[in-house]
Amino acid sequence: MKKLLTFLVALFVVVSVFAAEKPFTLGPNVKYTGTVNFSLVVTKDGVDIDGSLTKVTASLAFGPTSDTQAGATFSITYVPFGGVNLTLKSITFSTPYFGAFYSTDKQFVSDYFTGLVYKRDGTTSWADAMADFKDSLKLTLPAVPGLEVYYLDKVNEGTATWFSDMVLVKYPVAGFTIVGGTYNTGDTTTHEFGVAANGSLDLGVFKPAVTVFGGMVAGTSEMETAYDVIVSGSLNPVTGLTLAPTFKFAENLEKLDYASTNIASGKYFSLGVTYTTTFAPVTLTAKVTPKVDFASATPTTTLPLDELSAQVAVAPVTFYVKTTNADLLTENPFTLYVKASYADAMINASVAASWADVTEFATYTYIHGTVSIKATPELTLYSDVRKIIATENDFGYNVRATYSITPNVNLTGFYGTLTKDAYGAYTVINPEPTWNVNLTYTASF
Give the span between the Cα atoms of 216 and 183, in whole angstroms: 11
Confidence of residue 15 (pLDDT cuts 50, 70, 90): very low
pLDDT of residue 65 exceeding 70, the answer is: no
pLDDT of residue 48 exceeding 80, the answer is: yes
Distance of CA 182 to the CA centre of its chain: 26
> Tens digit of pLDDT for each residue in 310-319?
999 999 999 9
Give the span between the Cα atoms of 70 and 27, in whole angstroms: 11
For 209, what's the count of Cα atoms within 13 Å in the CB-facing half-sphere?
8
Give the three-class secondary structure for 12: helix
pLDDT of residue 11 exceeding 70, the answer is: no
> Tens digit of pLDDT for each residue in 238-287?
999 999 999 999 999 999 999 999 999 999 999 999 999 999 999 999 99
Between 339 and 70, the more confident residue is: 339
Least confident of 128-137, 145-154, 350-359: 128-137
For 233, what's the count of Cα atoms within 13 Å in the CB-facing half-sphere?
16
Q: What is the mean pLDDT of residues 126-143?
A: 87
pLDDT of residue 109 exceeding 60, the answer is: yes
Average pLDDT, rounded, for the chain: 86
Rg (CA), the chain: 28
Give the span between the Cα atoms of 399 and 343, in whole angstroms: 19
DSSP of 355-373: ES-TT-TTSEEEEEEEEEE
pLDDT of residue 183 exceeding 50, the answer is: yes
Give the H/E segment covering residue 305.
Answer: strand 305-314
- The answer to whether the CB of 171 falls within 8 A of the CB of 201 is no
Tell me what pLDDT residue 321 has: 98
Least confident of 13-22, 174-183, 332-341, 394-403: 13-22
The residues pairing with 250 across neighbouring beta strands, listed in sequence order, are 228, 266
Confidence of residue 385 (pLDDT cuts 50, 70, 90): very high
